[in-house]
C-alpha cells in the first residue's frame, strides 16, 4: 500500500470523514499498546559512546563495552547516571592509532596481547576460595576502520589480539590473560559472548571452562572452548547448521523491513551467525542460536567439553544438537537466571522473551517501545535484568553512512520473576 494512502483521509460514499490509519486516537477498535510485563526502570544514560556489552558486580559496580572505531576507549566503568570513564585505566585501552596494522596491504587488527583493542562482551563471576570476583573481558581484536570515502571494514584478527582477560574487582588489576592459536581463532573469527562453568570438576585441570561464541560474519561461526587451567582451547560445531546465519533473512525493526546498506558494498542482509549463549544452572546444557534465525538450539555441555584428543568429539557433538523450535523472531544476546529461565533479547519486537525448560516454550517477559535493539543483558545479584539499548539498526555503518541514532543510549532494568537471580552454582 502506498504511503500516500496511509495518510489520506478516507471518505464514505456520503463524503463524511473517517478515522485514518495514521490517526487512530478516536478509534473504537482494540489497538496494540506496544508494551507488557513488569515495570521497566531507566537506570543509566549514555551520551558520548554507544554501548554493546555490560556487567553488574555484587557491589553494584557497572561496566560497559564499546566496540572500536574511533571511540576514545573500549571498556568503561559508570561513575554516575550519565557518565562513564575508561576502565581499569585509560592506558590499558589502546589509542586509536594502535588498533590496526597491515601486511602486504591486507588490514589486520593489532596483535597486542595486553592492551584492549575492541571489547565486545563482559561477564562477572563471584568470589570464591579459588579466585576473586572477576570481570571477564572479551576483546575481539578486530576494530572497525573507515577509508577516505567513509566505507567501513573490519581487519582480520592476528594471534595475540583476540583475548580473554580476567580482572580482579578487588584491586582492578588484570590477573589472567588467554590468547588463541590461529587454528582455534581464525583470522575471520569474531568472539561475541562468553559464559563460564568454574566448578573444579568441569575440566581435568580443575580450573573451570569458558564457552565462547564465534559469530563470524564471514561464515565460520561456532564455539570456542577454553580450559582456564591449561590455557588449551578448541572448537566445536564450526559451520554446523545450527550455528549458521539464515541466508537472506530480512527482519523488521519498528515495523520496517531491514536491509543492510553499507558504503562501498551492495545492499545485503545481516550475516551474523551464532550469537546468543546461556548455560543452565546445573551446567549440563548450553542454549544458543544465530542472530538471523527464529530457532533456539541446545547441546549437552559434555559434548563441547570433550577434548580434541577424541577423534569422534566433533561428530558426537553434531549428533547431539537439539532443535527446541521457533521462538517468534530473531534473537540477539542471551542471559539466564537461577530458576533456569533463558532470557532472549528480541530486537524485532522491542522485547525480552524467555525460554522455560519446564514448559518447553518461549514465553513473553517484557516489551516496551524504549527497547530499540536490546544488545547486551546482565543479571545482577540484586535480582534485576539489566539491558543495553543502543539503537543499533540506525547506526551509520548499516545506513549508507547516515547516523539515525539519537543520544542518549540507555540501560534499562527490570525485576526478574519468581525470585530469580544471578546463577551462582557454576562458580
pLDDT digit string (tens) for 113-141? Answer: 999 999 999 999 999 989 999 999 999 99
* Rounded Cα gap, residues 274 and 217, in angstroms: 9
Peptide bond between residue 408 and the one before it cis (omega within 30 degrees of 0): yes
Place of cell 588463541: 180
Q: What mean pLDDT do residues 171-185 have?
A: 98
Asked whether residue 26 is domain-assigned, the answer is no
Place of cell 597486542: 112
> Do 269 and 249 form a contact (C-beta atoms < 8 A)?
yes
- Phi/psi-derived region of residue 194, left when phi > 0, alpha when psi is between -120 and 50, beta in every other case: beta
pLDDT at 8: 38
Peptide bond between residue 88 and the one before it cis (omega within 30 degrees of 0): yes
Asked whether residue 29 is domain-assigned, the answer is no
Please compute Rg for the chain using Cα positions. 22
Asked whether residue 168 is domain-assigned, the answer is yes
Select from 348, 416, 408 the least CA-distant residue to 377: 416
pLDDT at 1: 42
Count Cβ atoms within 10 A of the Cβ of residue 1 and give its class: 0-12 exposed, 13-18 middle, 19 or more buried: exposed
Asked whether residue 15 is domain-assigned, the answer is no
Count Cβ atoms within 10 A of the Cβ of residue 121 and give its class: 0-12 exposed, 13-18 middle, 19 or more buried: buried
CA atoms within 13 A on the CB side of 350: 16
pLDDT exceeds cutoff 50 at 9: no
Query: In this predicted model, which residue has the larger pLDDT, 121 or 148?
Result: 121
Range of the domain at 404: 42-419
CA distances from 318 to 12, 63, 215, 241, 298 (A): 61, 36, 18, 9, 11
Residue 92's pLDDT band (boundaries 50, 70, 90)?
very high
Q: Cβ contacts of residue 56 below 8 Å, gap of 6+?
A: 62, 63, 124, 378, 380, 381, 382, 384, 386
Q: What mean pLDDT do residues 63-86 have?
A: 98
Q: What mean pLDDT do residues 53-59 have?
A: 98
Number of H helices, E strands in the chain: 3, 30
Mean pLDDT of the chain: 94
* Rounded Cα gap, residues 195 and 125, in angstroms: 9
Cα 245 versus chain centre, distance: 15
CATH number at residue 82: 2.120.10.30
CA distances from 42 to 7, 62, 336, 368, 389 (A): 33, 14, 21, 12, 10
Condensed to tens digits (0 to 9), the pLDDT of residues 229-259 reads: 999 999 999 999 999 999 999 999 999 999 9
Q: Rounded to 5 degrees, what are φ and ψ at 423?
A: -75, 115
Question: 41-46 and 409-415: which strand pairing?
Answer: antiparallel
Residue 23's pLDDT band (boundaries 50, 70, 90)?
confident
* Rounded Cα gap, residues 178 and 227, in angstroms: 10
The number of distinct structural domains making up the chain is 1
pLDDT at 204: 87
Place of cell 544476546: 333
Q: Let me know the angle formed at the C-alpha of 211 by 426 and 232, rounded to the nearest 5 degrees.
A: 105
Asked whether residue 23 is domain-assigned, the answer is no
CA distances from 400 to 38, 126, 264, 305, 395 (A): 37, 43, 9, 42, 9
Q: What is the pTM of this model?
A: 0.94
Asked whether residue 134 is domain-assigned, the answer is yes
The alpha carbon torsion through 345, 347, 352, 355 (nearest 10 deg) reads: -60
Asked whether residue 364 is domain-assigned, the answer is yes
Q: Cβ contacts of residue 243 below 8 Å, gap of 6+?
A: 221, 222, 223, 237, 273, 274, 288, 290
Condensed to tens digits (0 to 9), the pLDDT of residues 410-422 reads: 999 999 999 999 9
> Do 87 and 77 form a contact (C-beta atoms < 8 A)?
yes
Asked whether residue 5 is domain-assigned, the answer is no
Question: How far separated are the first and last CA of the chain, in Å rounded?
Answer: 55
Select from 241, 259, 242 the least CA-distant residue to 251: 259
pLDDT exceeds cutoff 90 at 215: yes
Peptide bond between residue 244 and the one before it cis (omega within 30 degrees of 0): no
What is the DSSP secondary structure assignment for residue 310, as one 8-state letter? S
Amino acid at each position: 500500500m502506498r504511503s500516500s494512502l496511509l495518510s489520506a483521509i478516507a471518505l464514505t460514499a456520503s463524503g463524511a470523514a473517517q478515522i485514518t490509519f495514521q490517526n487512530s486516537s478516536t478509534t473504537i477498535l482494540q489497538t496494540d499498546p506496544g508494551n507488557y510485563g513488569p515495570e521497566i526502570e531507566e537506570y543509566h544514560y549514555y551520551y558520548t559512546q554507544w554501548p554493546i556489552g555490560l556487567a553488574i558486580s555484587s557491589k553494584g559496580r557497572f561496566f560497559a563495552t564499546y566496540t572500536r572505531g574511533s571511540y576514545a576507549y573500549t571498556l568503561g566503568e559508570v561513575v554516575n547516571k550519565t557518565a562513564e570513564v575508561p576502565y581499569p585505566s585509560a592506558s590499558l585501552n589502546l589509542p586509536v592509532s594502535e588498533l590496526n596494522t597491515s601486511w602486504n596491504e591486507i588490514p589486520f587488527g593489532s596483535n597486542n596481547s595486553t592492551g584492549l583493542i575492541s571489547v565486545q562482551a563482559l561477564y562477572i563471576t563471584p568470589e570464591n576460595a579459588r579466585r576473586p570476583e572477576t570481570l571477564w573481558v572479551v576483546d575481539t581484536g578486530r576494530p572497525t576502520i573507515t577509508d577516505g570515502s567513509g566505507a567501513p571494514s573490519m581487519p582480520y584478527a592476528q594471534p595475540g589480539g583476540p583475548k580473554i582477560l580476567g580482572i580482579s574487582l578487588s584491586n582492578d588489576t588484570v590477573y589472567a590473560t588467554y590468547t588463541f592459536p590461529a587454528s582455534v581463532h581464525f583470522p575471520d573469527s569474531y568472539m561475541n559472548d562468553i559464559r563460564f562453568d568454574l566448578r573444579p570438576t568441569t575440566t581435568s585441570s580443575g580450573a573451570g571452562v569458558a564457552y565462547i561464541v564465534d559469530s563470524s560474519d564471514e561464515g565460520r561461526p561456532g564455539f570456542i572452548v577454553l580450559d582456564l587451567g591449561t590455557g588449551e582451547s578448541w572448537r566445536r560445531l564450526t559451520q554446523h547448521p545450527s550455528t549458521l546465519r539464515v541466508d537472506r533473512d530480512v527482519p523488521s525493526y519498528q515495523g520496517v523491513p531491514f536491509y543492510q546498506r553499507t558504503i562501498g558494498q551492495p545492499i545485503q542482509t545481516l550475516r551474523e551467525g551464532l550469537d546468543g549463549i546461556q548455560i543452565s544452572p546445573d551446567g549440563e546444557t548450553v542454549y544458543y542460536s544465530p542472530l538471523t534465525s527464529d530457532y533456539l538450539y541446545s547441546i549437552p555441555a559434555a559434548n563441547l567439553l570433550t577434548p580434541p584428543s577424541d577423534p569422534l568429539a566433533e561428530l558426537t557433538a553434531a549428533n547431539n544438537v537439539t532443535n527446541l523450535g521457533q521462538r517468534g523472531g530473531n534473537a540477539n544476546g542471551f542471559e539466564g537466571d537461577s530458576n533456569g529461565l533463558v532470557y532472549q533479547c528480541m530486537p524485532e519486537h522491542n522485547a525480552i522473551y524467555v525460554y522455560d525448560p519446564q514448559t518447553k516454550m518461549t514465553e513473553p517477559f517484557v516489551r516496551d517501545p524504549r527497547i530499540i535493539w536490546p544488545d547486551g543483558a546482565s543479571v545482577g545479584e540484586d535480582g534485576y535484568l539489566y539491558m543495553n539499548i543502543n539503537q543499533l539498526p540506525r547506526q551509520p555503518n548499516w545506513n549508507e553512512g547516515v547516523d539515525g541514532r539519537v543520544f542518549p543510549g540507555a540501560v534499562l532494568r527490570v525485576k526478574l520473576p519468581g525470585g530469580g537471580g544471578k546463577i551462582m552454582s557454576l562458580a
